[in-house]
Amino acid sequence: MTNSNKKTWMVAKINFRQLNTAYIITCGFILIGVYNIISCLLGLIDNNYVDMGNYLYVLAIYAPIFIMARNFKRIMHLNGNKRDFYWGALLNYGIIAATVSLLNIILFVLTEVVFGSRLVIWNLVAVFGWWNHGVIVAFAQQFFFLLLIETFIHTLTSMQTRWYGWVTDILLVAIISVFIPIPALRNLLVSFLNTIIFHPNVLVQITCCLSLSIAIYGLNLLILQRKKI
């Protein structure tokens, strides 16, 4: 392992150790999933069960926020450099995306096997249609979609201390506010979501998510180079 790779891995390990808040929040959501399944089985609520594996997505959402907002300065103060942080964070996101994808599928299969006859189980891999292509493809589709979410949140968080971050926030709110009421623009937004989530062609969905992840995270390198510690 080269010295550069060692530094990247070291940054990733520091990030993982400093994500306690994200882990606690995720565990809190998983406990909600446990409570829901018990309530369904006891007949306290109807048998439409939102699979607890879905709540693992919370980690993919919160991790990049804490890594960029809190861990960046900590690592810089530990004599880290921006390039090592950049690649280390990407390693974090790859590991998180892979772990969440794998665990979500395992939980979905186990829940189906154990409770499938008594519950209507809602898991995103099935809702999004990924499960229709088999377990390996479903894992890949989920992995690249989560990687896109993580790189987007990471990059958006990195902008927040600069003027272009506020501009981006305003533009995102404006896009949502304008696109949803206008049918033509709403269709465009739906088309985009269909491409990165529901597209029937697996290669198109994966390629789109991967290409956007590369573009967004590449933009983050430019932002990071100009970011003050």
Using alpha carbons, select from 150, 157, 9, 163 the residue that is nearest to residue 75. Answer: 9
135-142: which pairs have CB atoms within 8 A and are 24 or more residues apart? 135/105, 135/109, 137/202, 138/105, 139/101, 139/102, 139/105, 140/202, 140/206, 141/202, 141/205, 141/206, 142/97, 142/100, 142/101, 142/104, 142/105
- DSSP label at residue 201: S
What distance in Å separates the CA atoms of residue 105 and residue 184, rounded to the nearest whole number?
36
Quickly state the pLDDT bin for 166 (edges 50, 70, 90): low
Q: pLDDT per residue over 62-77, tens digit each?
A: 999 999 988 888 888 8
What mean pLDDT is predicted for residues 104-123? 90
Q: Is the distance from CB of 8 to CB of 80 less than 8 angstroms? A: no
Q: pLDDT per residue over 78-101, tens digit each?
A: 777 888 999 999 999 999 999 999
Say which residue the tokens 């100009």 belong to. 226
SS3 50: strand
What mean pLDDT is predicted for residues 177-193? 76
Using alpha carbons, select from 155, 199, 29, 47 the residue that is nearest to residue 100. Answer: 29
The whole-model pTM stands at 0.90
Burial class of 96 by CB neighbour count within 10 A (0 to 12, 13 to 18, 19+): buried
Q: Is the distance from CB of 153 to CB of 66 less than 8 angstroms? A: no
Q: At what angle do helices 163-179 and 183-193 cross, to 10 degrees?
A: 110
Domain count, the chain: 1
Domain region containing 109: 3-225
What mean pLDDT is predicted for residues 101-107? 96
Neighbours of 174 (CB within 10 A): 10
- Number of residues written out for the chain: 229
